[in-house]
Each structure stands twice: as C-alpha cells, then as structure tokens.
Structure 1
Amino acid sequence: MKKAQVLIIGGGVMGVSLMYHLVKEGWKDVLLVEKNDLTHGSTWHAAGLCTHFAHNPTIQELRATSVRLYRDTLPKETGLSCGFHASGAMRITRNPDRMDEFRHVAGLSEFTGYPLEVLTPERIAELHPLTQLDGLLGGIYEPDDGHVDPSLATNAMADVARRGGAEIWRQCPVTEIRKDGDEWVVDTAKGVVHAQHIVNAAGTWGWEIGHMMGLNIPSVPVLHQYLVTDTVQAVADRQAAGLDELPMIRDPEESWYVRQERDGLILGPYEKDAQVWSVDGVPPEFGADLMPPDLDRVEPIIMAAMERIPALETGGVKSVINGPITFTPDANPLIGPAHGLENAWLLTGSSMGVMEGGGAGWFLAHWMTHGAPPMDPLAVDSRRFGSWADRDYRVEKAIECFGLQFGVHYPNEERPAGRGKRLSPLHDLMIERGAIMGAAYGWERPNWFSDSSDEIADETFRRANWFPKVAAEVEAATTRVAMADLSVFSKFEISGPDTAKFLGTMGANTAPATGRIGLNQVLTPAGGVLSEFAIARLGEDHGYLTSAAAAEEIDLDVLTAHATAFDVTVDRVTDQIAVIGLMGPKAPEVWASLTDIAPQDFPWLTVKSVDINGIKVRAMRVSYIGEAGWELHVPAADAAKLFTLLENTAKPLGLGYYGAYAANSMRLEKGYRGWGSDLTTERSPIESGLGGFVKPKERDFVGREALETRANDWDMVLMELEGGDVDPFYAHGLWQGGRCVGIVTSGAYGHRTGKVLALAYLRDATARDGLHVSVLGQKRPAQILSQPPFDPNNTRLRAKGALS
C-alpha cells in the first residue's frame, strides 16, 4: 500500500505540469501514475504550437505561462533546452469580421500585457515572404509565440519534480477508484494507493477515469492530422542565408496552420466534419499509437494552403501524423474541483494540451494549495457543464468545436450543435410568441423576440438585426408591462433548525429577515467573489436561494460544503420551479387584478406566498431591470397556466415580452453587476462596488480576514462612452493617455437613456479623468458616472401602484 498526499492520474503534459507545480508549492508525497509512459496519448505527437492569442484573459495567461515555462524557466532549472523556437506567429484573413475579432483580441492583450500587432497585407509579406497576399485584408501578429518539443518539455518538468520528491509510476494503469472515509483508494497495476487528493489528468482517457470516479466528463477524442514535408527549397535557402525562422501562420478561413520544421514545413488542417474516436472508451492497448493517414478527408484544405503558400507544394510529404486530441463542448480544458466530490480535481479535456499545459498545471496547483484559483476560472471551471451534457451532446459539440477551431468568436455567439437539452415549462409558449432562443448552461432561453418565425440573429461585432427589436422590448417594459421567462435561474431550498445560522455565515452579507430578500456574495479564502445569491427568507427555518444559471454546480458545491457545519438540508430545485418576470409601470395593475394583496402592501425586496387562481406562487418583489415588478416562482407544472392568465390580464394594458439582451441593456442602466462577467473570484465585493453588502461586524465567513486585509485597490465604475457604430461588450482596454488603466467587463446600449454604457475595473483607482475605451481599435472617450443614469433613487422599483 502506498500513501500519498495527492495522486495524479495521467502522465501527459497537463498532469506532469501539475506535479511540477505542486512540488514548487511545497506539497509532499506527490505521486503520478501513468498507464503507459510519459507523453503517451496525445502529448507526444502534438505539433507543439504555443500562442498568446486568446479571447479570455485566463486562457491567455495559461498560454503565456506555458511559453515562459518552456522558453525560460525549465532551461534554467535543468540546463537543457525544451526545444522552444521563438518564431513568432501570425493569423491572416480575408474576412472583415475576422479583422474585427483581431482588433478585439489585440485590445484585450494591451490590458494583459501581451501586445499583439494588427497587420496590413504589406506587413504580412514582410514577416512571411512565402505568403501570397491575394484577397487578404490583414492579420494579427503574436511576436512572443513559438513552438516547443512536447516530449522535452514534459520530461524536463518530470525531472525537476522528481528532484523535489515526487514519484512517477510508469506502465501503471488504474483499475478502480473508490472513497474510504476521508481518503481516496485507487487500485493500480503496481499496488493500492491511499491518497488525500486525487486528480484526473488522464487526457485521452479522461472520460474513463471520470467514469471510475462517478463523474460525467464531457470530453471526446477527435482525430487530428498534420503532415510534415521533405525539404522545401525556399525554406532551405532562407536557412542558408542565415535568416530567422519563419513565423507560424494560420488561415482561419481556410482552417489550417503552417510552421517551419527544420528545412521543411508542417501543415495542420482542421476539417469541418470531424472524426470522433473511441467515444465510449479507448482500446486498452492504445499508447503511443497513431491512426493510418487519411488525407482524402482534408485534401481541399491542403490545396487551399498550397495556394496561399505555394512553397508547400514543392516539399513532398515526408510523414503524416494522425492521432487523437480531446475536445470539450467549448474547446476549453476542464480545470478545478470535481462536482460533488471532496478533494477530487480535474485537469483534462484540453485540445491545446501543450499550448496550455504548463499554465494549466500552475493554475490548478494554486487552486489546490490556496483554496482559490489565481484568476477568474469560469472559462475553464470543470463544473461549467452538468449532467445534461450527455453522450450526444459531447459528441455533437466536439465535432462542432473541431470544425470551428478557427471560427470567429462573436460577442453574442450562439452555436447550433447540442441544443434543446434543458427546456423551460414555458419554452413552447416563448417560441409561439417569437422568441429567438439562446443557450445558457444547457437551457434554451429567449435572447430577443421577433415577429418573423424564421429570423435568426446576425453574427457581428456591430449592431445586429435584433437592435431595434430589443429597443421595442425595453420600451414595453418601461412604459407599459412586459413578461419574461426567467426559469433558467439556479434554485436551492435551505431548510432545518440551523437555517438562520447557515444563511448568516455563508457570505459577506447578513441574512435577510423573514419575508425579506437580500443579496449575498460568497467569497473565496482570498476575498474574491465566488458566488452570488438572492436569498428569500421564507421562514425561520426556510430559505430560498437563486443564482446564475451557469453557476448551478459551483453553487451546489458551495452550499453543500457550508452545510456540513449545520443542521440543514440543501435541495436543488432548479428544474422543479419556473420563474415568470412581470415587469413595468403597469405591472402593479396586473397584480392588483389577480390577487387580494394590494401593491402598496407588497413593498420592494419582500417575498410572499400567494394564491393566484388556485396556483401556489412564491412572489418576490424584485427586479434586475430597474422597473416595478415581480418574479413569480411557480411549480413547473403550473407555469404555463399562470403565464397565460397573466398574459390575458396584461394584454389590454399593452403587454410586451423581453429577453436576455433587453435585460442586459436595462441592468447596465442601473449599474447592476453580473456574476461571471463583472463579479469574479479575482475582485472583492468592495472592489466591485458592492461594499454596502459587506457586513463583517461580529460575523465569521470564508474570506472575511482576507477581505479586511487585502489592498482592495481596484475599483469598478459605470461609464458612458461617446457614440459610435460599435457598442462595447467585454474585454476592452480602458486607457488614460498612453497608459492602460483598466478593462471593460460588460457593456451595451441603454435604450431608456440613449447612452452607450460599460462597467469596467480600474486597476488604478485614481485614474478618473481623460479616459477612453478602445473598442475594436476605436478610441472612444469615456466618462465615469457618479450614479446610475436610470432612476438612480429607485423610485420606480419602489412604486406602490401603477405609474403613469
């Protein structure tokens, strides 16, 4: 029997990186077991590309950390090269939308400190003279990119980790995983391991190891081919002339990448119709193996690449690599706590394992050591998919992600695969009323409403076809009455004799009194915002909590962990309860027609159980859009009946409907923060402008000490931008002169106020004047608002009757 503080399953670049970084963090008794040998599976045959290009700061930091590790740190520690080639890289395009995307990523990178250069065709020719420029509009250059030898890098990390006391068991497949008290017990080919922590870093085998852990791992192996040429004379001539290595080049429209390999080239195509492999389990004998070449599948892409880089055609094919890489439903890795399991972690599912592996190990090691991730984890959190992400879903989404590996990432992107997994009881009614649906954590929810049944949303960085439709939705909610399906909320019931103590210690705010509603941020040990709940106090021993749809598994873990110290029961009731939004100045008139509780007897931020025509309703006087109204929480079976009753009552008053896009516009006019965009683990509630909800006096809660001792020197502000043809959305740099002083976290056009609005964090809280936001390369002057531009005194929210 072997005792270990942590057992890492999987010896690819991800698992070895975690082992390396845990040793650096001071962990003892670190054991890694590998079914075959290090790098087997997908690491060994990877092309080794490393980039800084990313649409998300956390993903970018994983990639940048990997580059620093392979290029600088490991060679210094070992005295040996990892085979890192600092070639730089570029992406080229003939698509105007892609140029917008490049400008957006370049703007984000100015904030993160990894500046990327937007290219003209002339600059492309200067950097990569083998490229034909026909039809190109431009591109983007990533000067610090390169490529690495995956095996050298992985073994370098393994050597350093072993010197620090870690152990590696090769040729050691795992056969069973079970929990025994506080320990994980793992049967392996070399004996039984008892570990405090267990990590699934199995990559290609991640789904199978997850199955042993009792988890649904939504990853699928997909076959990816690339070909290596013989000598390409144009490349050999450059080498003979002593010229620098050619930068890697990607053409996202034609779906290929090319990089130099000695005096030849590597070409990697991504076909649209991906080939999944071993979805339900990898063959036991599979290790450092490849599939036979199948170039017929990618011949059109190869031909397109040769047209763009004619020198490719002169080299001839030296070898073809065709092996599996794993894809999750959004092509981001699964990193973090395993849902519902104590001391179990995931570090798997990366389609860019070498590119992200060095940073991914750092990220999870920090999380495991300090109880919180070093950056906002939402893009990679292993709990961002639920049990609804079934086999069909993961296969459909893997094929889609592979085919759209180089797809344009629009700010309101909606992809078609894997839809319809979670349907609200009001779904069909919404469709009948013209809802154009979007996906949120598996749910179908209305984004906006159209009077044409076959209309679809424009994919654009600029104002889309839904802009005037959203304006009409806002007008209805502002002047009359509007209804919405809000059923996607995550919902939880807390009951038991310790409910008051549970609610009073779960987060930064105190518990609301019975009959009242309060907002509470649950913190990380470092004082960042982990979760945000609206708490309705139904009784001394009964609380009802709602939170963001995408937070469902995260929040269930938060509540379950907190409940271990109290005599309470936590029940997830998301699917059992539907939610109808009834909002607008005439909403009180609708309410008065259907209940015997006068609106003036139902003040803002209160909750009451009412009977509406025989339907039991939990009515909450609260509004995320800043209008008078109610959230009506009703048993799912009664939702359609209640909706129809409300609708018939409201129609004579000028009823409208609103979706998520209108809600986003209106909440920004109130300065309301959104979890997952404006509220993240990186920033405290004080930095987020929610200091009024922080009440630490004579209370103990996770993160309190850190909250009181951390600098809290960032500051969230609501800004108005000067007009333009592009509305802000997220991840735009905020500038004061030539200095990037902050970043936009969310933005939209405010239809009630006629203002272009954005919420942003200032990392220099003194930078209040002379500001501008860079939106797709446009410098937009911005002014910090001292109060929300719509109803700053909450007169409309507190309305006791219908407003004229």
Structure 2
Amino acid sequence: MKTQVKALVVGGGAVGTSIAYHLAKAGWDNVMLIERDELTSGSTWHAAGLLPLFNMSYATTHIHKYSVDFYKQLEEETGLNAGFAVVGNLRMAQTQERMDEYMLYASTAETCDVAYEWLTPDQIKERWPLIETSDLKGAIYHTEDGYINPADVTQAMAKGARQRGVDIVRKMQADAFHWNGSHWEVTCTKMVEKGGNLIPSDEQVVITAEHVVTASGNHAQRTAKMLGIKMPAIPVEHTFIVMDKDPELVKWREAGNPEHPVVRDADNESYAREERGGWILGIYEHGAPAQFEHGVPDSFRADLFPLDLDRIADQYMAMAERVPSCAESGLKDDFNGPICYTPDGNPLVGPAPGLRNMWLAEGFSFGITAAGGTGYYLAQMMVDGEAEIDMASLDPKRYSSNWMTTEFAARKNEECYEHVYILHHPDEEREACRPLRTVPAYERQKARGAQFGWVNGWERPNYFGPLDAPENFDHDARSFRRGGWWQYAVEEAKAIREGVGLVDASAFTKHVVKGPGATQFLDWFTCNKLPKVGRINLTYALTSHGTTRTEYTIVRNGENNYYIVSAGAWTEYDADYLRKAAEDKMEEFGYIEIQDVTTQWGVFAIAGPKSRDVLKEVIKDADPETALSNKRFPWLSARQIELGMCPVNAIRVAYTGELGWELHHPIEMQNYLFDLLEKAGEKHGMKLVGARAQNWLRQEKSYRAFGTELGRDATPLEADLPRFVDLSKDFHGKAKLEETGVRVKCCTLLIDGPDDADPWGREALYTPEGERVGRLTSGGYSVAFEKSIGMGYLKPEMAVEGTKLKVKIQDKLWDAVVTCDSPYDPKNETIRKDG
C-alpha cells in the first residue's frame, strides 16, 4: 500500500470513485481512494438510481448532463455494464402553475443543451395507457435519461479508475488530518469486522498527500469535526418502496411494449419506475427527519431505518390513482435510508474554508445523478485551477461558519427535502430557521410592511407591502409570472427614479485591509487602478484563469488602509480567497492585516433626485447646503460625515444609478439613524425600497452583479467592463485574461414580453430565425421603459446595439433588442447631479 500520493480521495461511493477516476483521466498519476467499508456501502447502495436532468441551477444542470452522457460510455471503456436503462423521464403537471415551472426550467435546459419535449395528457395516455391522465395539464419529457444501478455504475467507475492507475483501498478509515505546510498527513486505521460490526483495528498508517478530497457522504459531520470546519451536510430519511407485480404492467411488457419512463408525479410528491413487473415508488413527503446530526454511529453500516407508513400514506394512495392497475399490488420491500442534504439542495463542491489543498465533495441529495459531473468538474478545478463552468453556486463557503450551526443545517435540510416537489418559484422564500440574522432596524422595517428575503442568513427586505392590506391578503404570493409583490416593487422603483428611496444594504460583505503591504497587495490582487485617498473604485479580483472571482468596491481611507465592500451572499467565499491570497504574498509585499467587519457596520443606501435634500436635513456641517455638493463631495468619493449624532462613512455611489449615497454606520446606532432619516424623508416623500426594485434599477444601468453576469466562467472583458481593467499594470490573472480574449460579451436587452410575466435571468436567447445564440443571466421589469429588461451573454458580433433577438418566456419567443450600455441615463448625468 502506498503512503505517498498526489491526491487522496476519502470515500468510496459513487461520488468518490468518480472523482478518483476523473483525476486520473485528467493526468494525475498517483491517486488513491480509501473507503472505510466496502465500495457503495454508504447511501449509494440504497439509492434508487434515478438520473433526473431537471434542475433549476445552471451549474447543476451541466453536472447532471455530463453524468448522463458519461455513464453511457462506461461499459465501452471498462467492460462493465453500469445498468443504465435509458427509458426517459416523464415529469407530469396537474396545474398550470406546475407547467409554468417546467416552462421556465425548459428555457434553462436549452442553454445547457438538454433535450426535452412537451406532451399533452392525451399523448401521455396514448403512449402509456396504464397512466391515469384525466387530472393532468401536461408533462415535460426527457428522452435521454432514466435510471441506473448505483452499485454497478460505482464499480464501473472504480474499474475505470484502477485501469488509469488509481489505488483503491477498502476497510481503511481516515481518522485525522494534519497539514504540515506543504502536504497533508492523513492518519488512517484499518477496519475489521467483528460480530457484524465494523471496528477499528490496532493497525494504522499515515498517508501523505499533496491534495485531499473528502466524499464521505453520511459521515460528513465526522469529517468536518476532524478538519475543524463546519458544513451543513446532514442526512435526511428518504423512503422508497418496492411493490409486488402489477398484472397489467406484466401484460403490457409481455406484449412487446417498451418500459415506462421514470414517472414523476410532482404534485403528488413522488416518483415511480418499473421494477421486475412491479413498481418502485419513491416519496418526498413532509415530516421526514434529519439523522446523524452529530455523526453516524459506529454500529450503522449498510443499514436502514424502520418504515413509517403513516408518513407516506397519502403518496402511496395517490400512486394507486395514478396507475390504477397497481392498486391491488402489495408491498414487497421498503428502503428508508439516510440521504445527505444541504439547505439549498445543492452539494458542497470546492475548496474547504481556511484550508490548503483540501477539497470537499459533500452533501449530495442526488448523488448518483451528480457523481459523474462532479468528478469531471472538480478534477478541472484541482488540476487546471478552474472548471469550465462557474462552480461558485456549489462552493462550500456559501454557508459561513461564523453563523451556521448544526441545528440550522438539520432543520433547513428537512425543509429542503420536503421542497423537492414543492413548486420552485424563482421568488420563493422558505421559512425554516427564520429570522436568524437580523439588523437592529429589522423590527422597524417589518412594522412598515417589509417582506423579507434570505441572503447568507440575513433578513433583507425584498419589498414593502401595504400596511392596510385585508386579512386575506397574501404577501407571499409566489408565481412564475408576476407575483403578488410585483406592483409594490414597481412603486418602489419609481420612487427612486422620481423622488427618493431608502434601501437596507447591511448584508454587504465588508473587509478592512491595511498594513505596510496592503497597497502593493491590492494593486496585484485586483485588476483596476487603486483609488486615491478619499476616493473609491470598482474593481475585480480574478481567478488564475483571468475570470471574475470577486467584485469589490474599494474605499481608500489612508495610504495603506482600505475598506472593501463585496456581495452580501458571499462573505466567507470572499474572505477565504482574500486571506489566502494575502498569506501567499505577505513575504513579498510586507505585513497585511485583514479584518472581516461585516457585522460591525450597517448600510443604508439612499438614492433618487431628492436624496441630497433628505441628507441636508440631518447633516451636521458648517455649511449644510454645500456639504454634499459636487465640489465638496464628488461622485465616487468617500467622506466621514455626521448625520445627527451618528458618525457615517458616506460613499457617493448608488447601485440604482441615481444620485445617492451609501451610508455605512456603526451597527449599534442603526435604529437611531433609521428614525432620523425616516423623519427627514417625510416631507420629501421618501419611500422604503426592497431588493427586488433595486435589482430592476441596476439592470437599467447595466450594472453587472456577481453571481449572475460576473463569475468564474467569464473575464471582466467578456463582461464588457474594460474601463475597470488597467492593462498597464501587472495583476493576478492578467496573462490568462489577455490570452482568453473575448469569447462572449455581456449586454443589456429591452424585451417586449408578455403582459403578465418578466424574464428571471435563466432564459435562452434566439435569433429571429430561431437559432439559439445565448442566454440571459438577469431579468426583470424596467419602470423607465415600461417593459421587461434583461442582461445576458452573446457572441461579440451580436452584442451590439440594435441587434434584434428573441427571448423564450413561458415557452414562447418574444421580441428583444440589444440596447446601449446603461440605457437609462447613459451619460451618468443624474448620478452626478450637483446641488
């Protein structure tokens, strides 16, 4: 057995074997995989093996599609049949709203080259007469996927890995991880069977590895404790049952008819597929509990939990109505086992927080579907430095360890499980574990009608509903079209364009970077010129591939003292990258101190033509009339001011593109400042504004957002932001940025869409002749142009003003035109307005 390897993969399920295989395929020739028991002995062995392409996430859809394509070629390479039954996947809808969900997904699927077709109830009945269709609206049908044998596909990947030189060692448990500054030392214990249990022996070995990947499945909490980190990967019980033979199904197949597709009855929270003349019925019910919150007991191996028939009774009865011929089929077998989840249902894939060369692949609720693609894209990240798609949405650091707890993860994972088949509205807000992180002004905003969204644990107003609403008014009316909140967001957006609005932006990530090496470091770390003292600049930290890793607003408070602001959803993601980069450069540049001050500073953004008038009411200055003028407080500058008794670090910038300021204030004084601004704003008609209106307004200004237009799959030049890239200096990622060129280009589109819907930023773009040429990354409504608006990527030659296109919304093509950059106030006259 080797004790020195390039990469050590911990975990021998489908995910772990795929990672080992793809690392070897990518060129690493000294890879080892260890498994504490037998391959597939975790949740892989009791998985139903379905391969659903359906996913609302762009990155996850790519991962699933790769898996489906990859599994089809495994037998040719390895000689082992992976048991892939390409029967297709029929996802049915009982309501128009469910069809709306499928139509939104279908447009996303097109951007990932995932094939589908629409079926009417009559077409379903004609193809598969055993299915009851009288209550259906229709279905989306994928012909390319189906189901697979989890054990077989895992063994096939393991054989493929061995053929490429991977060492696979069974009955070997990782018990400790130690980073010695250049590589990992992993203490492993040989496991032995005794009385049906798996117990540690006295035999230990230390494996040194340059890189370690953990794919420990249900044992993720044990892994996290050994690494000294937190991760919200906790299993939830999942039940599927095997039914006795269905006589009509047997006759159907004996007559030479094809196997049924995987039948997903989403509105009845279940799926079904054929199994030897009968049916397997899988259920995503309410009330399924989380398990192993603090670790898997040593006695639990390839075990299951007792079946709770009462919990799944409704879905069981619904199956008998959906396929009436199975009504008399008895229960043959049941599987109620742990499946790992995360709060948003997406796995944790990428670098571990705070650690070097430690990679996580944990929290897979659809592990068989995701295994192949995860191995492929994670290997790209490890070997090449970045994946070809933006993997940020799966990054483990999206749940910050400074607030995420075991209780939070367990309860949110239970909620996520029961939401598998609940309608996935783009504007949905799930309620478990909320409110958790609140700013001082939370209760004040709530009392004024705030309807909150959730971002990185924070409660942030999405919009402000009516205080005089009738008792039956549904503030949470969600829709795939224009939800119940839409009319209020319109009024809020108009308030900023025509008067003045106040936005709570306290969730922004905020860091202080200072010290003798701070200036040299930030000059190398970001691609734009650094601002002068008292000024600000927008800039980007790049990946090693020259793509966008983080967007920063940099405020220079002193020669070597900087206050940098980034997206609120990505606090630990940004902090980890910033700290690691500074550590790498400290010897070269000098001492660099980095402080995360996110929770120390609240932020109110005040914007609109009357914003200066409101601030004049409360600013304490020798000459209040000129304190906020262009001469004393120019655009893109920062000043320490006093608003009443509150000291404020004011930044003259506005994400809405109107005259405005960000007011960064001590968090403990937030309620005082809120009351002060609210009172001063009364006579100017100031309105409280939420994040949804702000999102629309920034699109009118073509302001790119991190996580949509900006990400690790496009450079700032491809985002069409050359003004923020200083090619005269050296910076991290510059060579790759120049080498990459401009493959695609970001642009803004005005859209003549339907009267009751706007794009969400997931839609495909077409030429008028019907050729797919790009995709939207953001979408919404423009109050300035009174039509839908969106931003997205096209080939450079098409991303020019005047190009006529089509956008697919609700399965129809609508006219769109590429507009100029910043279609609202393209000369920035309003934002620079003097007074």
Q: TM-score, normalised by structure 2?
A: 0.93
Per the alignment, residue 823 of structure 2 pairs with: 789
Per the alignment, residue 194 of structure 2 pairs with: none
Q: How far apart in 2 are the matches of 1:425 and 1:292?
A: 46
**In the alignment, is the contact (CA less than 8 A) between 1:742 and 1:764 conserved in 2?**
no
Matched, 1:106 2:106: yes
User: Superposed, which structure 2 residues align to 1:671-750 within 5 Å?
Assistant: 671-697=702-728, 699-724=729-754, 725-736=756-767, 737-750=769-782
Using the TM superposition, give the Cα deviation of residue 353 of structure 1 relative to its aligned residue in structure 2, in angstroms: 0.5
CA deviations 1:636-688 (Å, max 9, x no partner) are 11222122222222222222111101101111111111110111111111111
User: Superposed, which structure 2 residues align to 1:75-90 within 5 Å?
Assistant: 75-90=75-90
Matched, 1:270 2:271: no
Using the TM superposition, give the Cα deviation of residue 57 of structure 1 relative to its aligned residue in structure 2, in angstroms: 2.1
What's the C-alpha RMSD, in Å, of the aligned pairs? 1.6
Per the alignment, residue 677 of structure 2 pairs with: 646
Q: How far apart in 1 are the matches of 2:475 and 2:799?
A: 41
Q: Which amino acid aligns with 2:745?
A: D
Q: How far apart in 2 are the matches of 1:678 and 1:247?
A: 37
Question: 169-178 or 621-630, which moves further after superposition?
Answer: 169-178
Helix, strand or coil at the partner of 2:397: coil
Per the alignment, residue 197 of structure 2 pairs with: none
Q: Pick from 584, 587, 590: which aligns with 2:611?
A: 587
**In the alignment, is the contact (CA less than 8 A) between 1:127 and 1:247 conserved in 2?**
no
Helix, strand or coil at the partner of 2:172: coil
Matched, 1:441 2:456: yes
Q: Which amino acid aligns with 2:688?
A: Y
CA deviations 1:505-529 (Å, max 9, x no partner) are 1122121111111111111222221
Helix, strand or coil at the partner of 2:67: helix
Matched, 1:550 2:561: no
Unaligned runs of at least 5 residues, structure 1: none
Per the alignment, residue 524 of structure 1 pairs with: 543
**In the alignment, is the contact (CA less than 8 A) between 1:516 and 1:537 conserved in 2?**
yes
Q: How far apart in 2 are the matches of 1:456 and 1:674?
A: 27
Q: Which amino acid aligns with 2:382?
A: M
Helix, strand or coil at the partner of 1:688: coil
Q: Which amino acid aligns with 2:581?
A: H
User: Superposed, which structure 2 residues align to 1:33-432 within 5 Å?
Assistant: 33-72=34-73, 74-190=74-190, 191-387=205-401, 388-432=403-447
Q: Which amino acid aligns with 2:409?
A: R
Helix, strand or coil at the partner of 1:140: strand
Per the alignment, residue 558 of structure 2 pairs with: 539
Using the TM superposition, give the Cα deviation of residue 362 of structure 1 relative to its aligned residue in structure 2, in angstroms: 1.0
Q: How far apart in 2 are the matches of 1:723 and 1:154?
A: 46
**In the alignment, is the contact (CA less than 8 A) between 2:264 and 2:270 conserved in 1?**
yes
Question: 122-131 or 210-219, which moves further after superposition?
Answer: 122-131
Q: How far apart in 2 are the matches of 1:112 and 1:161?
A: 27
Matched, 1:670 2:701: yes
Q: How far apart in 2 are the matches of 1:279 and 1:360?
A: 24
Using the TM superposition, give the Cα deviation of residue 626 of structure 1 relative to its aligned residue in structure 2, in angstroms: 1.0
- Classify 1:369/1:110 alpha carbon distance in 2 versus 1 (closer, same or farther; 3 Å): same
Q: How far apart in 2 are the matches of 1:770 and 1:748?
A: 19
Q: TM-score, normalised by structure 1?
A: 0.97
Q: Pick from 484, 506, 514: which aligns with 1:495?
A: 514
Q: How far apart in 2 are the matches of 1:26 and 1:432?
A: 59
Using the TM superposition, give the Cα deviation of residue 764 of structure 1 relative to its aligned residue in structure 2, in angstroms: 6.2
**In the alignment, is the contact (CA less than 8 A) between 1:741 and 1:764 conserved in 2?**
no
Matched, 1:482 2:505: no
Using the TM superposition, give the Cα deviation of residue 767 of structure 1 relative to its aligned residue in structure 2, in angstroms: 7.1
- Classify 1:498/1:210 alpha carbon distance in 2 versus 1 (closer, same or farther; 3 Å): same
**In the alignment, is the contact (CA less than 8 A) between 2:745 and 2:799 conserved in 1?**
no
Unaligned runs of at least 5 residues, structure 2: 191-204, 622-626
CA deviations 1:278-299 (Å, max 9, x no partner) are 2111111222122233323212
Q: Which amino acid aligns with 1:150?
A: P
Per the alignment, residue 776 of structure 1 pairs with: 810
Per the alignment, residue 627 of structure 1 pairs with: 658
Q: Which amino acid aligns with 2:122?
A: E
Q: Which amino acid aligns with 1:771?
A: L
Q: Which amino acid aligns with 2:118?
A: V
**In the alignment, is the contact (CA less than 8 A) between 1:89 and 1:142 conserved in 2?**
yes
Per the alignment, residue 642 of structure 2 pairs with: 611
CA deviations 1:178-200 (Å, max 9, x no partner) are 22222222211141122222222
**In the alignment, is the contact (CA less than 8 A) between 2:10 and 2:213 conserved in 1?**
yes
Q: Which amino acid aligns with 2:443?
A: D
Helix, strand or coil at the partner of 1:129: coil
Aligned length: 799
Helix, strand or coil at the partner of 1:147: coil
Q: Which amino acid aligns with 1:78?
A: T
Matched, 1:756 2:775: no
- Classify 1:301/1:105 alpha carbon distance in 2 versus 1 (closer, same or farther; 3 Å): same
Using the TM superposition, give the Cα deviation of residue 168 of structure 1 relative to its aligned residue in structure 2, in angstroms: 1.7
Q: Which amino acid aligns with 1:399?
A: E
Using the TM superposition, give the Cα deviation of residue 242 of structure 1 relative to its aligned residue in structure 2, in angstroms: 2.2
Q: Which amino acid aligns with 1:385?
A: Y
Q: How far apart in 1 are the matches of 2:333 and 2:233?
A: 28
Q: Which amino acid aligns with 1:270?
A: Y
Using the TM superposition, give the Cα deviation of residue 475 of structure 1 relative to its aligned residue in structure 2, in angstroms: 2.5
Helix, strand or coil at the partner of 2:327: helix
Q: How far apart in 2 are the matches of 1:299 and 1:16?
A: 36
Q: How far apart in 1 are the matches of 2:270 and 2:381?
A: 35
CA deviations 1:525-582 (Å, max 9, x no partner) are 2222111111111111101111111111111112112212132111101001111112
Using the TM superposition, give the Cα deviation of residue 177 of structure 1 relative to its aligned residue in structure 2, in angstroms: 2.1
Per the alignment, residue 193 of structure 2 pairs with: none
Q: Percent identity over the alignment?
A: 37
Using the TM superposition, give the Cα deviation of residue 770 of structure 1 relative to its aligned residue in structure 2, in angstroms: 3.8
CA deviations 1:160-191 (Å, max 9, x no partner) are 21222211221112222222222222211141
Helix, strand or coil at the partner of 1:50: coil
**In the alignment, is the contact (CA less than 8 A) between 1:233 and 1:314 conserved in 2?**
no
**In the alignment, is the contact (CA less than 8 A) between 1:106 and 1:117 conserved in 2?**
no
**In the alignment, is the contact (CA less than 8 A) between 1:10 and 1:34 conserved in 2?**
yes
Helix, strand or coil at the partner of 2:392: coil
Question: 125-134 or 407-416, which moves further after superposition?
Answer: 125-134
Q: How far apart in 1 are the matches of 2:700 and 2:3?
A: 59
Question: 125-134 or 554-563, which moves further after superposition?
Answer: 125-134
Q: How far apart in 2 are the matches of 1:378 and 1:98?
A: 28
Question: 235-244 or 83-92, which moves further after superposition?
Answer: 235-244
Per the alignment, residue 16 of structure 2 pairs with: 15
Helix, strand or coil at the partner of 2:816: strand
Q: How far apart in 1 are the matches of 2:127 and 2:164?
A: 42
**In the alignment, is the contact (CA less than 8 A) between 1:474 and 1:752 conserved in 2?**
no
Q: How far apart in 1 are the matches of 2:421 and 2:777?
A: 24
**In the alignment, is the contact (CA less than 8 A) between 2:746 and 2:799 conserved in 1?**
no
Question: 330-339 or 53-62, which moves further after superposition?
Answer: 53-62
Using the TM superposition, give the Cα deviation of residue 611 of structure 1 relative to its aligned residue in structure 2, in angstroms: 2.8
